[in-house]
A = this chain, B = another copy of it.
Amino acid sequence: MGEATIRDVARRAEVSVASVSRALNGLNNVRGETRERIVAAAKELGYVPHAGARSLSLARAHAIGVVLPDLHGEFFSECVRGMDREASRRGYVLLLSNMHDDSEQSAAALRTMRGRVDGLLVMAPHITPESLERALPAALPAVLINAPGEVAARPALRLDNHAGAHAMVEHLLAGGYRHIVHIAGPESNVDAQERLQGYRDALAALAPDMPVRVIAGDFNEEAGEAAARQILASHEPCDAVFAANDMMAIGCLHTLRQAGKRVPEDIAVAGFDDVPLARYLALTTIEVRIAEIGARAVSRLVDMLEGKGPGGGVELYAPELIARATTAARTGATAHG
């Protein structure tokens, strides 16, 4: 037995479907006595409106599609949590679809969203603007999060990775560290690219005589471990490691310590993201308030949907440096000594 429909309610209350719809949606052109009969009938039948049908006739689904890449743990949940909080506050529900880096699959994911959501939140740090542009249904409002480049005047939220990395290099130099190695993220990831560039630019601006040294990584812990082994085996001097994210920093930290190195006395370690782990390991890092960004993305999208906002424009989020023990200043250090 399927659920009761509006027609069942109409039959039971001995009115037309139009009256049921009006009564249940709180329109005022229904007589009090009729409304009561309808409400009673609806309750007796346990009637719940069919959201799908409703959204079809209203051309409004009150749902937001969320397309995220494969994020590491905490990051993902924080992002979704922020979105969910704001979405439910504004009467929307979230339709989730992970985008497993395959760009073909991503396009398919976006496709299945059409007709069930009013707008899209897309986080795609590893997709080129062109293919994203192509995959996005043109008529669907969308807010981009950390997308590379500008995509067809879509509003976007971007984390200021460059500023964050710059601040970190500055912090390390101020702490007296001179030979700073960077463990980079995936080459195709725009966050990783910007952090790398921030590192390069900061070094060029603040300590042009110091060597630029980059070890490739992929944002995973193992990459950090591998980088640490490489640093240990190398003859080149290195007194600080700045990893493009916390997980690599953590892997690096562990391997260095297991090899007998003292952190930060022998070598400093810093990350990026401020995952909860960072606090416990006293890891210096850059705080990324991802939940806030998620919430803000929803807010902007809903504003667009409800015609309240201009839409366009890129909002930049400045992250904050959190100094902890793994980069404690060297004793007797001077900023440029």
Interface residues of chain A, those whose CB is within 8 Å of chain B, are 1-3, 46, 48-56, 61-63, 71, 73-78, 80-81, 84-85, 88, 93-98, 100, 109, 111-116, 137-139, 250, 254, 276-277, 280-281
Contacts and interface: CB of A to CB of B under 8 A. Distances in A.
9 contacts: A46-B137, A48-B111, A51-B116, A52-B61, A63-B116, A71-B77, A96-B96, A277-B277, A277-B280
Contacts of A84: 96-98
Nearest to A116: B51
Nearest to A1: B139
A50 to B, nearest CB: 3
Given A53-B56, A77-B77, A88-B98, 17 more contacts: A3-B139, A49-B114, A50-B114, A51-B112, A51-B116, A52-B55, A53-B115, A71-B77, A76-B77, A77-B80, A80-B80, A88-B109, A93-B96, A93-B112, A94-B95, A95-B96, A277-B277
Contacts of A73: 73-74, 77-78, 276
B93 A49 contact: no
B116 A280 contact: no
Given A80-B80, A81-B76, A139-B2, A51 B113 contact: yes
A40 to B, nearest CB: 18
Nearest to A277: B277
A115 B276 contact: no
Given A1-B139, A56-B56, A73-B74, A114 B51 contact: yes
A320 to B, nearest CB: 19
A277 to B, nearest CB: 5
Contacts of A50: 114-115
A48 B51 CA distance: 21
Pairs of residues from A and B, 6 with the lowest C-beta to C-beta distance, nearest first: A50-B115, A77-B77, A52-B115, A51-B115, A76-B77, A94-B96
A71 B1 CA distance: 35
Given A76-B77, A77-B73, A80-B96, A116 B115 contact: no
A301 to B, nearest CB: 16
Given A3-B137, A137-B3, A277-B277, A52 B97 contact: no
A114 B56 contact: no
Contact of A115 (B49, B254, B280): B49
Contact of A48 (B56, B137, B276): B137
Contacts of A100: 88
Nearest to A115: B50
Nearest to A56: B52
Q: Which among A62, A71, A88, A250 has the greatest number of chain B C-beta atoms within 10 A?
A: A88
